[in-house]
Amino acid sequence: MPKDNSIRSVLIIGSGPIIIGQACEFDYSGSQASRSLREEGIEVSLINSNPATIMTDPVTADHIYLKPLTPESIIEVLEERQIDAVLPTMGGQTALNLAIEAGKMGIWDKYNIRLIGVDLEAIELAENREAFREHAQKIGLKVAPSKIANSFLEGMEAAQNIGFPLVIRPSYTLGGYGGSFVHTKEEFEEALKRGLNASPTHEVLVEKAVLGWKEYELELLRDANDNVVIICTVENLDPMGIHTGDSITVAPAMTLADSTYQQMRNEGILLMRSMGNFAGGCNVQFSIDPVTEEIIVIEINPRVSRSSALASKATGYPIAKIAAKMAIGYTLDELKNQITKTTSAYFEPTLDYVIVKMPRWNFDKFKGSVNTLGLQMKSVGEVMAIGRNFLEALQKACQSQENNRMGLGADKKEWIRTDDILERLEKVGDDRIYRVKDALRLGVPVKSICNITKIDPWYIEQIKRLVDIEKELLRFNVAEDIPESLMRQLKTMGYSDAQIAWIMRIEEDQVRAHRKALGIRRTYKMVDTCAAEFEAKTPYFYSTFDNENESIPTDRKKIIVLGSGPNRIGQGIEFDYCCVHGLIALKEAGYEAIMINCNPETVSTDFDMADKLYFEPVFWEHIEEIIELEKPEGVIIQLGGQTALKLAEKFHEHGIKIFGTDFKNMDMAEDRGAFSDLLKEMDIPYPKYGVAETIEEALKIANEVGYPVLIRPSYVLGGQRMKIVINDHELERHVLSIFKHLPDNKVLIDQFLERAKEAEIDSICDGEDVHIMGIMEHIEPAGIHSGDSSAVLPTYSLSDQVIETMKDYTKRLALALKTKGLINIQFAIKDEKVYVIEANPRASRTTPFIAKAYQVPYLNIATKVMIGANKLKDFEMVNNLDGYAIKVPVFSFNKFPNVDKRLGPEMKSTGEAIRFIKDLNDPFFRELDRNRSLYLYQ
Amino acid sequence: MTEAFQHDAVLMLEDGSVFRGQAVGHKGISSGEICFNTGMTGYQEIFTDPSYFGQVMVTTHVHIGNYGTIDEDQQSEKVQIAGLICRDFNEEFSRKRADQSIQDYFDKQGIVGIEGIDTREIVRKIRDKGAMNCLISTSELDENLLAERLTETPNMEGLELASQVSTTEVYTLGNDDAAHKIAVLDLGTKRNILNCFVKRDCQVKVFPAKTSYADLAAWNPDGYFLSNGPGDPASMDYAIKTAQQLLEQDKPVFGICLGHQVIALALGMPTYKMHHGHRGINHPVKNLVTGKCEITSQNHGFCVEPEAIKAHDRVDITHINLNDDTIEGLALKDKPVFSVQYHPEAAPGPHDSRYLFDQFVDLLKSSKA
């Protein structure tokens, strides 16, 4: 069936603010779908309340509605625009729920809107666990024995009938919320209560736990002609028992024979075809008994999901793009493979590399949370790594994490006590994979580790190869002694130079020099969907140590944009938005735009955003090799948040040009001492402070400054380990903990301005002029991290004099720091006096928010200023905001049952929403204002 | 992968390029036409498929051997490929039901292999330059000697191989009281084809490749099947002759892969050697009769000439490949005869095309009625 020409205008529903379990993967899917539909000449309207997304940017859609995801907003859109159809499958469960609600209210019927790419009955069936179970059995598939319970009594009965261990799964919740494993009767009551409460319908499924079975996910696509293909098969390294979002996963499946795989494929296709009638993407989870190879189906998601984003990046097959085309009538055989451009889109990608996805957790942000993993997803982001073998991909994934790991172990974070390690293998935490290697290193047999962890022995045997080769390496004392064959082998197995150096207790530079002398360099291979069977046109690369290099640099002028790595608290989707705009601006300025990033959920890693994409860890060794190959004019590090910024010094040392503010000045802004000296010299007030290297110094400074004081380590992100303390005792405890966790760090002690107002300014400076993008006033008082504060644009209560002072300070500081590009300055205001708290010489969390609220392409302008292609006076920047815009933080506290909502200087929110209000009488604003101090804690 | 690189194996291609890697499997020298398979599962089924007889296999999936080997997955009684080129050969395996490791399996069967090769580079070479001969050596490493040895390897074009892999003895599978009897002309059949018939209540009697039509017909089957197999179909006069006689009688005839090509040749439509063939389990085929698509398992280096088939007044094109529009299936307008270029029996690969066996059994039923 060709395209349905009666669809001329489509509304796409986004997924709202980022929360755990629903992250920026839906920015990827929404953006891709929107671009895909516009390619077909369809007018796209988009609704989403999340301002940090690229999908809500004019580069993506024709009409953007930054509105709360409610039926009222939908009505507003439909009143304003002639919409033919709505596509609700690109915005996760949030969008689907909204579509269902609007459907029940008769909104779609009233406005004569078709729902495309979805079958509401199929959604209903997939979400209702009992109905789904019956359905699966009816079509001949096996499921785990289970019973539905709507009351405590029914739950207890079910447990008695099925026997332990059990899983409790609440109906209609997201990301496994409220679910748990229960091994004993004692645990059961509590878990059942929690489950019943978590479900909006107070319904849970009590199910036999198939702990330790292998876990798989299949990504399927179906068209209107009922053609189905499997885009990707993902094998969970962590077996059943850990939420797939919290599991390390591998593609393609490593331990499946064809006969078993084909049976699973058949069942997936059968299931998808049996679930209503819709054209689009779908994800099915299976579990396989490792002994008998019996297969059971776990669940189906008849929509684009987090795993679709991963599958798209893992295979190169743009699932959301194709799914959107199928929603408007195309069948797969009518479309081309987007990567080869010559072969059919109806095919199944094949991989000649290995993908490892590793979740990124942020347990340190949730005091009191338990870092054990289970049914409920707790990770805040993920990385994907590509290698030419499993170990290379696994170690690259570790290097991508940005938690100071140099790879899988062989760095200073190794554990050495067998008892501790064995305990951690049993109580699955976020560090299990590292502990597996530690255990092997200490001689624990492969078999024992398999028994404890239930991880497939193939993976354990692979990891054991690392332990074996490290022993071999220990025979050598200096880098120059490492023979070529061993060095090549180490690099092939994914070792970073830093790991090799650590094992031998030598310097990383020595390893690197010797390696380069041996001519052992990275080569780059293409991700092409077809294992090189057909020629591909897309410049999507990963590194390995194989023979042939396929990434041939062009003779164009190039600039590299460094991405922001995995999402975590304090570093989210907003930086991906900035990177995407950076790429577009570079292209417009005539450069070849090269992207380096490792986060599969992002738009910046779509193969058609940059001129060339390196899907690589944002890790020095990988970046350096790309720079040596590509020889770019320079790099842009202002857009990728702290991830990119903290590499500034390395670039500076290696003489690589940083576009925008230079390293010395960036360092001055980051270095509290130097920055305060600058402020003093410029006669700009700042809170009293001191820098301490010992406890004694800290106590002395705190007493001079006067309690309460704000304590933090220097050089951190998102207020990590920042705390307000009110007496000597608390100060001692916290300073000690900083020294313990962040050795070699200094402690900053600031006077805490109690009951002060906070405000911030984002601006662009071209070295001569400074443009104030926006001034935001925080509703919450000083003491709450700016990322956790509701920020109102423009200010609403500050006096003209204060505003003028802030502007004046911003302009003077931007020029004094020789800023080229973006700078964000944070202020505290007390008794009409303006203090500068900090300056961030980079894109901030709020830059996308201002660009959206004022409808000015600030990131595009900033990038062009940064690279010197334009001056500020070349642009006309007109603010289009009527009333106020509020940036509202969104939290995921409900994922951590024992954690309270307590806000302080350490950031905890996972996402944000934008809210437009006409005036200060708005009830939403008034509610925020009333509660402004409620959650302030230390 | 061995823990320290010993460059103890050589891969030499007909274009003169030489690669060094590590020896796996049996020690020795082996040569043949190089080809690659892009499947991510089913290595044992691939290695034991008689259609690969005489060919050296490059697997694009980077890890081989992960789940060991098991007798029931074999597609014939032994490994048929002449040698293996792979990236990472895994002796350690994980499958509770498996019999042995791929290393032991190869060693026992005398199969030579090389690992640590940039297989993607090789595939790109084959993609650009086309199929060519190659040689693997894990014993002799002198390149001059090996180069000479490589020149002695015969060219696949014009090579008749089916009779070398076909059964020498007639045998039957399935029950004597099965609903249908099918005479199979074994040009190198995969076990799973026979299984697919037996599962559909058929008894199959498998005859050597050079069996005459008269001997096949003497069993009085309900229909005939021409199997897959290796080599150049144009060199198989004997089978083409048998096929011509089969097409004159009225009982249903079904052909797969080489069998499909032989049927085409019997109808006067020529075959040609493809640039580098189709080998994998992800090939898109469209059924022109139903309009539905299927993902297919493929393994062929020759193909039926599309112009000849379009010009033929007795033949309909039933299936085409969506990647390159090559002919994937044909049917006679006037007789119960059809054939496909790909492998509906899968093993390895998707089961999307199993309906073709049902279609054949339906023909058997209706021709009896």
Chain B, 226 to 265: residues with Cβ < 8 Å from chain A are none
The CATH topology of domain A757-930 is D-amino Acid Aminotransferase; Chain A, domain 1 (3.30.470)
The pLDDT value recorded for residue B3 is 46
A886 near A918, Cβ under 8 Å?
Answer: no
For strand A249-251 and strand A204-208, is the pairing parallel, antiparallel, or unpaired? unpaired
In chain A, the N- to C-terminal Cα span, in Å, equals 61
- Residue A254: list chain B partners with CB under 8 A: 63, 66
Paired tokens of A659: 């576009």
**Nearest C-alpha neighbor of B69 from the set B91, B36, B54:** B91
The residues spanned by each domain of chain A are: 9-116, 145-208, 214-349, 357-520, 524-659, 688-751, 757-930
A343 near A62, Cβ under 8 Å?
Answer: no
Q: Which of A202-216, A488-502, A918-932 has the highest mean predicted lDDT (pLDDT)?
A: A488-502
A262:B346 CB<8 A: yes
Peptide bond into A923 cis (omega under 30): no
Class of domain A357-520: mainly alpha
A388:B87 CB<8 A: yes
What sign has the CA pseudo-torsion A45, A46, A49, A50? negative
- How far is residue A500's CA from residue A486's CA, in Å, rounded to a whole number? 11
User: Which region holds residue A641: left if phi is over 0, alpha if psi is between -120 and 50, else beta?
Assistant: left
C-alpha count within 13 angstroms, C-beta hemisphere, residue A558: 22
CA distance A325 to chain B (A): 18
A767 near A819, Cβ under 8 Å?
Answer: yes
The CATH topology of domain B9-151 is Glucose Oxidase; domain 1 (3.50.30)
- Residue B1: list chain A partners with CB under 8 A: 389, 465
pTM over 0.90: yes
Task: State yes or no: pLDDT of A558 exceeds 80.
Answer: yes
- Residue B348: list chain A partners with CB under 8 A: 258, 262
Alpha helices in A780-936 (DSSP H): 800-816, 847-854, 858-866, 923-930
Catalytic annotation, residues of B:
257, 343, 345
The pLDDT value recorded for residue B61 is 97
Closest chain A residue to the Cα of B295, Cα to Cα: A347
pLDDT tens-digit profile of B66-123? 999 999 999 999 999 999 999 999 999 999 999 999 999 999 999 999 999 999 999 9
- Residue B291: list chain A partners with CB under 8 A: 225
B73:A352 CB<8 A: no
Closest chain A residue to the Cα of B98, Cα to Cα: A257
B63:A350 CB<8 A: no
The pLDDT value recorded for residue A321 is 96
Backbone angles phi, psi at A782, to 5 degrees: -55, 145
- How far is residue A903's CA from residue A780's CA, in Å, rounded to a whole number? 10
B121:A546 CB<8 A: yes
Domains A145-208 and A688-751 share a fold: yes
- How far is residue A538's CA from residue A526's CA, in Å, rounded to a whole number? 8
Non-local (6+) Cβ contacts of B80 within 8 A are B47, B48, B49, B50, B51, B52, B53, B165, B230
CATH of domain B162-368: 3.40.50.880
Query: With an 8 Å Cβ cutoff, is B277 touching chain A?
Result: no
For strand A709-713 and strand A723-725, is the pairing parallel, antiparallel, or unpaired? antiparallel
- How far is residue A523's CA from residue A303's CA, in Å, rounded to a whole number? 37
Query: With an 8 Å Cβ cutoff, is B62 touching chain A?
Result: yes
Is residue B59 classed as helix, strand or coil in its secondary structure?
strand
Mean pLDDT rounded to a whole number for chain A: 92
- Residue A344: list chain B partners with CB under 8 A: 284, 322-323
- How far is residue A663's CA from residue B248's CA, in Å, rounded to a whole number? 85
DSSP 8-state secondary structure symbol assigned to residue B155: P
Paired tokens of A232: 């990707």
CA distance A89 to chain B (A): 25
Q: Average pLDDT for residues A780-794, to the nearest whole number?
A: 92
- Which CATH architecture does the domain made up of A145-208 adopt? 2-Layer Sandwich (3.30)
A458:B284 CB<8 A: no
Task: State yes or no: pLDDT of A347 exceeds 90.
Answer: yes
pLDDT tens-digit profile of A357-407? 999 998 877 766 777 888 888 888 999 999 999 999 999 999 999 888 999
Give the CATH number of domain A9-116; options: 3.90.180.10, 1.10.3720.10, 3.40.50.20, 3.10.310.10: 3.40.50.20
- How far is residue B101's CA from residue A123's CA, in Å, rounded to a whole number? 44
CA distances from A892 to A23, A888, B229 (A): 11, 14, 60
Q: For chain A, what is the radius of gyration of the CA atoms? A: 27
The pLDDT value recorded for residue A194 is 87
B90:A343 CB<8 A: no
pLDDT tens-digit profile of A252-308? 999 999 999 999 999 999 999 999 888 999 999 999 999 999 999 999 998 888 889
- Based on DSSP, count helices (H) and strands (E) in chain A, helices before strands: 31, 33
**Nearest C-alpha neighbor of A361 from the set A376, A348, A351, A349:** A376
In chain B, the N- to C-terminal Cα span, in Å, equals 59
For strand A634-636 and strand A723-725, is the pairing parallel, antiparallel, or unpaired? unpaired
CA distance A333 to chain B (A): 7
What sign has the CA pseudo-torsion A247, A250, A256, A258? positive
Task: State yes or no: pLDDT of A78 exceeds 90.
Answer: yes
The CATH topology of domain A688-751 is Dna Ligase; domain 1 (3.30.1490)
If pLDDT is split at 50, 70 and 90, which confidence band does B1 have? very low
Task: State yes or no: pLDDT of A177 exceeds 80.
Answer: no
The pLDDT value recorded for residue A782 is 87
Q: Average pLDDT for residues A172-192, to the nearest whole number?
A: 81
Instruction: Count A/B contacts: CB-CB distance under 8 Å.
Output: 167
Least CB-CB distance to B118: which of A344, A472, A547?
Answer: A547
Least CB-CB distance to B66: which of A255, A265, A535?
Answer: A255
User: Which region holds residue A145: left if phi is over 0, alpha if psi is between -120 and 50, else beta?
Assistant: beta
Q: Could you write out the three-class secondary structure of A624-658?
A: HHHHHHHCCCEEECCCCHHHHHCCHHHHHHCCCCE
Chain B, 292 to 351: residues with Cβ < 8 Å from chain A are 292-293, 295, 322-324, 346-351
- How far is residue B357's CA from residue B199's CA, in Å, rounded to a whole number? 10
If pLDDT is split at 50, 70 and 90, which confidence band does A457 have? very high
B66:A548 CB<8 A: no
Beta-carbon count within 10 A of B296 CB? 26
The pLDDT value recorded for residue A895 is 74
Is residue A195 classed as helix, strand or coil in its secondary structure?
helix
B124:A548 CB<8 A: yes
Closest chain A residue to the Cα of B89, Cα to Cα: A389
A258:B66 CB<8 A: no
Q: Average pLDDT for residues B241-268, to the nearest whole number?
A: 97
A227:B123 CB<8 A: no
The pLDDT value recorded for residue B157 is 87
The residues spanned by each domain of chain B are: 9-151, 162-368
- How far is residue A182's CA from residue A257's CA, in Å, rounded to a whole number? 32
- Residue B118: list chain A partners with CB under 8 A: 546-548
Q: Give percent of chain A above pLDDT 70.
A: 98
DSSP 8-state secondary structure symbol assigned to residue A59: T
The CATH topology of domain A524-659 is Rossmann fold (3.40.50)
Apex B113 CA angle, B110 and B117, nearest 5: 180
The pLDDT value recorded for residue A174 is 66
The pLDDT value recorded for residue B244 is 97
Task: Give ipTM to 2 decimals.
Answer: 0.97
B185 near B224, Cβ under 8 Å?
Answer: yes
CA distances from A421 to A104, A361, A372, A418 (A): 53, 20, 14, 5
B292 near A226, Cβ under 8 Å?
Answer: yes
- Residue B94: list chain A partners with CB under 8 A: 255, 456-458, 461
CA distance B239 to chain A (A): 32
Task: State yes or no: pLDDT of A447 exceeds 50.
Answer: yes
User: Crossing angle of helices A497-504/A508-517, nearest 10°?
Assistant: 120
The pLDDT value recorded for residue B2 is 43
For strand A85-87 and strand A9-13, is the pairing parallel, antiparallel, or unpaired? parallel
Determine the residue among A214, A352, A456, A460 to mutate to test chain B binding: the one whose Cβ has the most chain B Cβ atoms within 10 Å. A352
- Which CATH architecture does the domain made up of A214-349 adopt? 2-Layer Sandwich (3.30)
The pLDDT value recorded for residue B156 is 86
A276 near A121, Cβ under 8 Å?
Answer: yes
CA distance B40 to chain A (A): 7
Element (DSSP H or E) covering residue B328: strand B327-332
Paired tokens of A450: 């398999």
- How far is residue A845's CA from residue B339's CA, in Å, rounded to a whole number? 62
The pLDDT value recorded for residue B120 is 98
pLDDT tens-digit profile of B269-318? 999 999 999 999 999 999 999 999 999 999 999 999 999 999 999 999 99
